[in-house]
Amino acid sequence: MPERAVVLLSGGLDSAAALAIARDRGLECHALSLDYGQRHRTELAAARRVAAALGAASHTLVPLDLRMFGGSALTDDIDVPKHRSGDEIADGIPVTYVPARNLVFLSLAVGHAEVVGARSIYLGVNAIDYSGYPDCRPEFVRSFEATANLATKAGVEGAGVSIIAPLMDLTKAEIIRQGVGLGVDFALTSSCYDPDEDGRACGACDSCVLRRQGFEAAGVPDPTRYR
């Protein structure tokens, strides 16, 4: 029986690559997505398409409305920043930061992993070409893993769970090339923070800028549908 993994799947480019990598390592992948009231809900449809295309064994959607906490341009009526340069994006924590998002998502993944019997959790964070979010850094991921194994029955009585961030040290271009090599169809993914009703990308938010630059640097045609 193949070893199992939980894969946090947002529907974006990075998590699709993370899922492809986990599958390539022979893992039975159980995808987990969160409906947290994000304004870019088109990414949840993308997550379903990606999970199906990459052969996830299951795909669980957790409704958790983080809008009641507020405080982010991704969930509130705060304008998503547009047309920022790479340097501007890298400088400081942006208004699209959602308080404690990866902490909450990883915690849910730990619970899911314990129930399905998964030994690892894959997530698509990376420290290069990222958007300045503190919960995408390797020191956070390592610390979370230690905490998770103190919190759970699996950690106390069994082998515990490993938190795997296979993209951590890759540039966006490297992620794209690796994904293409593993058969990821990036046309299925959605990265935009502010898509239109048809799911077409704005081309100008931080996430679109990083994605577009990544395809250019990778020498891979950009399959994104822009407005």
| Residue 140 binds its own copies, judged by CB under 8 A | yes
Tokens representing 204 are 């100008």
Closer residue to its own copies, CB minimum distance, 160 or 214 = 160
- Give the nearest distance from C-beta 6 to its own copies in angstroms: 11
CA nearest 92: which of 220, 215, 222, 206?
206
How far from 204 is each of 10, 62, 78, 135, CA to CA, in Å?
20, 29, 16, 23
| Residue 159 binds its own copies, judged by CB under 8 A | no
| Residue 158 binds its own copies, judged by CB under 8 A | no
Tokens representing 104 are 């909450």
Q: Residues in contact with its own copies, total (CB under 8 A)?
A: 44
| Owner of token pair 């022979």 | 26
User: Which range touches its own copies (CB under 8 A), out of 45-53, 63-71, 167-175, 216-224?
Assistant: 63-71
Q: Which residues pair with 162 in a beta bridge?
A: 120
| Residue 177 binds its own copies, judged by CB under 8 A | no
Q: How many CA atoms lie within 13 A of 150 on its CB side?
A: 5
Site for its own copies in 68-127 (CB under 8 A): 68-71, 93, 97-104, 106-108, 110-112, 114-115
Which listed residue (146, 196, 221, 223) binds its own copies by CB under 8 A?
A: 146
Distance CA 126, CA 121 (A): 15
Are the beta carbons of 65 and 37 closer than 8 angstroms? yes
- Give the nearest distance from C-beta 28 to its own copies in angstroms: 17
- Give the nearest distance from C-beta 165 to its own copies in angstroms: 14
- Give the nearest distance from C-beta 127 to its own copies in angstroms: 13
- Give the nearest distance from C-beta 186 to its own copies in angstroms: 28
Tokens representing 21 are 């990598």
CA nearest 120: which of 29, 16, 215?
29
Host H or E run for residue 103: helix 101-116
- What is the binding site for its own copies (CB under 8 A)? 60, 62-66, 68-71, 93, 97-104, 106-108, 110-112, 114-115, 134-135, 137, 139-140, 143-144, 146-148, 150-153, 155-157
